[in-house]
Structure 1
Amino acid sequence: MSVAIENFVKAIYNNENHDITDTKPGNIASKLGISSAAATDMAKKLDAKGLLNYEKYQALRLTKKGEKMALNVVRKHRLWEALLHQMFDMSLHEIHREAELLEHETSDFLAEKISEYLGHPKFDPHGDPIPNADGEITTKDTSIALINAEENTEYIVSRLMSTDKEFFEFCALNGIKYGNKIAVKKQFQNSKMTQITIHSNTIVLNQDFTQIIYVNEIN
């Protein structure tokens, strides 16, 4: 399949699973940087190939075949992120950028070799689950968005759901990293802001950040 098709089904999968927008062609177009007309044309073509279900004015839905393709691309992307982060200590933005290119040039054979080398990781450095070779996600996601966290409670950062360079730079500067412990001190409901402490530092985050930082409560 072409890079354009792989990116299209992956965008639908990502929007369905952890994006704040739905999967209507216009939203997929915005995500991919193409016109709405081009996205609609692609959706019709992929409907004919049995990769998704297209209905005018409705959100796009992947078929089993389309979801399997998307998960295969996601697997390769996240394995590359894990490898690049481990070998070169590249930033979260850098590994995402490079994995976007490498995912399309990677055979299933090489993906499995990378997975073996890394010890078959379950998560990438962003905290996103890595599908196995059968296109299955075997981990259970119990995380919540930081905006929904309880006050005076400690959590572990479990996921950073963004591709934005400045977001990752901010997180790196403040120690907001997958696996790190934070304490939620105060939820400011009216202003939609959250006060946290991490590494003895106190910072306040707005909802643009607290909606894409996910955490698990420390039991």
Structure 2
Amino acid sequence: MSVAVENFVKAIYKNKHQDNLDTKPGTIAKKLRISNAAATDMSKKLAERGLLQYEKYQELKLTGKGTAMALNVVRKHRLWESFLFKLFDMSLHDIHREAELLEHETSDFLADKISEYLGNPKFDPHGDPIPNADGEITTKNTSIALSEAEEGKQYIISRLMSDDKEFFDFCAMNGLKYGNSLAVVKQFKNTKMTQLLINTNTILLNQDFSTIIYVTEK
């Protein structure tokens, strides 16, 4: 299957299950930086292949076959991120960029070997769940956005939902890393800011950051 097809079904899957965005062709076009016409044309072609359901002006829905393809690509992407992070200690932005390329050139055999080498991890370095070889996500999501965390409680960072370099650079400089602990000091409701304590440092985050950092109660 072509890179374009794999990226298209993956974008639909991530919009629905991760990014809380609609899956209309225009939205997918924006995500993939292609024209609306190209997205509509691709939607019709993939509908003919049985990968998705297409209706004019409606959201795109992946079929079972399309979902399996998307999860397979997601699995390879997140395994490569885990591999590159472990072996080379690359930044979260860099591992995402490289995994975007490697995911399409990886056989199922190699993906299984990478998973076995890493100890069959359940999560990648961003905290995103890694589907197993059967295309199943076996972990339960109990995390909440940092913006919704309660004052005075301690949490563990469970997910960093971004691919922006500046965001990851900021996180690296301030110890905001998957698995690290923090305490929520204050939630400023009017200004929508969150004050937290991590590694003895006090940090004030605006909503742009606090809504894409996910935590679980410690």
TM-score range, shorter chain: over 0.9
Q: Could you say which residue in structure 1 is the equivalent of 2:47?
A: 47
Q: Could you say which residue in structure 2 is the equivalent of 1:124?
A: 124
Q: Could you say which residue in structure 2 is the equivalent of 1:201?
A: 201
CA distance in 1, matches of 2:27, 2:166: 22
CA distance in 1, matches of 2:23, 2:109: 31
Residue 213 of structure 1 and its aligned partner are, at CA, apart by 0.4
Q: Could you say which residue in structure 1 is the equivalent of 2:109?
A: 109
Moved more, 58-67 or 71-80: 58-67
CA distance in 1, matches of 2:73, 2:200: 39
RMSD: 0.7
- Look up the equivalent residue of 1:214 and give its one-letter code: Y
Q: Could you say which residue in structure 2 is the equivalent of 1:79?
A: 79
Q: Could you say which residue in structure 1 is the equivalent of 2:212?
A: 212
Give secondary structure in 2 for the equivalent of 1:185: strand
Q: What aligned pairs does 1:1-219 form with structure 2 within 5 A after superposition?
A: 1-218=1-218
CA distance in 1, matches of 2:174, 2:102: 29
- Look up the equivalent residue of 1:44 and give its one-letter code: K
Unpaired runs of 5+ in structure 1? Answer: none
- Look up the equivalent residue of 2:105 and give its one-letter code: E
Residue 191 of structure 1 and its aligned partner are, at CA, apart by 1.2
TM-score, normalised to structure 1's length?
A: 0.98
CA distance in 2, matches of 1:169, 1:100: 19
CA distance in 1, matches of 2:197, 2:155: 11
CA distance in 2, matches of 1:212, 1:180: 16
Give secondary structure in 2 for the equivalent of 1:104: helix
CA distance in 2, matches of 1:190, 1:37: 42
Give secondary structure in 1 for the equivalent of 2:66: helix
- The runs of 4+ residues in structure 1 deviating greater than 2 Å are none
CA distance in 2, matches of 1:120, 1:138: 12
Unpaired runs of 5+ in structure 2? Answer: none
- Look up the equivalent residue of 1:159 and give its one-letter code: R
CA distance in 1, matches of 2:59, 2:192: 29
Residue 18 of structure 1 and its aligned partner are, at CA, apart by 1.4
Aligned length: 218
CA distance in 2, matches of 1:192, 1:39: 36
Residue 24 of structure 1 and its aligned partner are, at CA, apart by 1.1
